[in-house]
């Protein structure tokens, strides 16, 4: 099969998707913004051809590159795995007659107010929401729904550009900060209290063939605002437990309603006083290297599984579910440059056999702001057969390891 893959070199783990396709025998044609000369020899070996473009999200530019490739070879699939690339890929895919995720599905997975409106019609429980590009709309929604509210970009990812609004005075401030007063469109949602997690799938022709459930500790909005927190994402190996039955069914219903065919998906959810609530979904893999956590937990290669799903319409191997696994972010005490660490030796002495990967930037490395995300600074990946003991280990790491900057 000839498969076009958008942006094979950035972010770093994009090369893993290319590797998976290559391992399954695909002829991989990369389209990206970086020169081929900048690629590692390993990445070059996975690519049969490469076309450099000015922008992979500029649809005319991307379409021209795809048509250029189609003039030379038959193209079986066009794939993108980064949220910002999904919509352009879908439109070009449809314009050039290449199978894959439709424009409708991509739009509904990208635009949060449209997504929630579609799912509410079908009875999927989710927060009340609307879109607003005028202060009067935001004020009226707040009057109807009450506080607190969440305000964020309609097509945002993670907690970027997100505000929690708890009063009318805070709303007025955000109306200015978010640009609503100047006509910038935002999504406004009822704030849902509860524990936050996500469920990721690989789906083939609408049927879930692989699924993984991950918990946030604490919820994302708090984690992205408080420097002192060492936030965790922890994947359970107890996915067959009765308590997960409802969220697993919700994922299947959402995939079906949004027309997900053969794709990776990433669905976020809340569970709290109002029960289980759908949050949002992307028709792409999760970010922050989470598929590498799934590999560590399940002793298989999910990138190859994804490629096998696309190319052959079937899974290649079953996850072992032997381990629960997670990632913990370790933040510097201030912005600046890394000056050192404490606590690493104690953690290595106690848990070296459980740590499967780590990133500990050297002294002098510039820090990244808290808002840059879970992998912006130091982090560790950890696994253990028992979920509760894994949580103990990760808490111990968060309490023991200190990262200093000046």
Q: Where are the domains of the chain?
A: 2-100, 128-190, 195-405
The tokens describing 149, both together, are 């509210």
Rounded CA gap, 288 and 181, in Å? 33
In this structure, how many other beta carbons lie within 10 angstroms of the beta carbon of residue 388? 9
Q: Which residues of the chain have pLDDT under 50?
A: none
Handedness of CA 121, 271, 202, 11 (dihedral sign): positive
**DSSP bridge partners of 404:** 340
Quick: pLDDT tens for 210-245: 999 999 999 998 998 889 999 999 999 999 999 999
The tokens describing 61, both together, are 């530019």
Q: For the CA atoms of the chain, what is the radius of gyration?
A: 22
CB distance 102 to 94 below 8 Å: yes
pLDDT at 34: 97
The tokens describing 16, both together, are 């893993």
113: three-class secondary structure by DSSP: helix
Whether the bond between 395 and the residue before it is cis, its omega within 30 degrees of 0, is: no
% residues pLDDT > 70 (the chain): 99
**DSSP bridge partners of 203:** 208, 263
**Hey, which CATH number is domain 2-100, 3.40.50.720, 3.40.50.20, 3.30.565.10, 3.40.640.10?**
3.40.50.20
pLDDT at 156: 65
* Phi (first) and psi of residue 83, to 5 degrees: -50, -45
Same fold across 2-100 and 128-190? no
**CATH code at 128-190:** 3.30.1490.20
In this structure, how many other beta carbons lie within 10 angstroms of the beta carbon of residue 271? 17
pLDDT at 350: 97
**CATH code at 195-405:** 3.30.470.20
CB distance 167 to 185 below 8 Å: no
CB distance 169 to 176 below 8 Å: no
For the residues of 205-246, what is the DSSP string, one character each? TTEEEEEEEEEEES-HHHHTT-TT---EEEE-S-TTSGGGHH
pLDDT at 158: 56
pLDDT at 100: 94
20: three-class secondary structure by DSSP: helix
pLDDT at 159: 58
In this structure, how many other beta carbons lie within 10 angstroms of the beta carbon of residue 100? 20
Rounded CA gap, 151 and 102, in Å? 28
Cα dist from 228 to 198, 219, 399, whole Å: 23, 14, 10
Which residues 6+ apart lie within 8 Å of 19 measured at CB?
Answer: 46, 303
């Amino acid at each position: 099969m000839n498969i076009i893959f958008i942006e094979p070199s950035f972010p770093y783990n994009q090369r893993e998707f290319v590797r998976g396709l290559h391992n399954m025998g695909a002829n991989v044609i990369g389209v990206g913004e970086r020169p081929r000369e900048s690629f590692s020899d390993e990445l070059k070996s996975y690519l049969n051809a490469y076309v450099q473009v000015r922008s992979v999200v500029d649809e005319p530019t991307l379409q021209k590159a795809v048509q250029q490739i189609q003039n030379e070879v038959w193209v079986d699939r066009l794939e993108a795995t980064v949220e910002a690339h999904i919509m352009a890929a879908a439109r070009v895919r449809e314009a050039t007659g290449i199978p894959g995720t439709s424009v409708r599905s991509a739009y509904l997975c990208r635009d949060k107010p449209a997504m929630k409106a579609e799912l509410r019609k079908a009875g999927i429980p989710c927060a009340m929401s609307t879109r607003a590009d005028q202060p009067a709309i935001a004020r009226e929604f707040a009057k109807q729904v009450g506080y607190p509210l969440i305000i964020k970009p309609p097509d945002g990812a993670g907690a970027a550009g997100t505000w929690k609004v708890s009063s009318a005075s805070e709303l007025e401030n955000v109306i200015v900060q978010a640009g609503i007063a100047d006509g910038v469109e935002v999504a406004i949602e009822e704030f849902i209290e509860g524990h936050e997690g996500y469920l990721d799938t690989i789906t083939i022709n609408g049927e879930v063939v692989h699924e993984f459930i991950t918990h946030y500790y604490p919820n994302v909005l708090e984690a992205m605002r408080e420097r002192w927190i060492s936030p965790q994402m922890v994947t359970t190996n107890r996915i067959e437990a009765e308590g997960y039955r409802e969220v697993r069914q919700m994922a299947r219903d959402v995939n079906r309603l949004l027309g997900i065919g053969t794709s990776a998906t990433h669905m976020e959810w809340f569970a709290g006083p109002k029960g289980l609530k759908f949050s949002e979904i992307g028709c792409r893999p999760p970010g922050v290297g989470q598929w590498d956590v799934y590999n560590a937990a399940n002793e298989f290669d999910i990138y190859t599984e994804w490629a096998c799903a696309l190319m052959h319409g079937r899974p290649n191997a079953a996850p072992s579910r032997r381990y629960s696994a997670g990632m913990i972010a370790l933040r510097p005490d201030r912005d600046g440059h890394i000056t050192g660490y404490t606590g690493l030796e104690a953690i290595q002495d106690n848990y070296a056999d459980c740590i499967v990967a780590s990133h500990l930037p050297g002294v002098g490395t510039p820090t990244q702001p808290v808002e840059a995300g879970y992998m912006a600074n130091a982090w560790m990946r950890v696994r253990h057969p028992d979920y509760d003991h894994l949580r103990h280990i990760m808490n111990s790491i968060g309490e023991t390891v200190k990262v200093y900057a000046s």
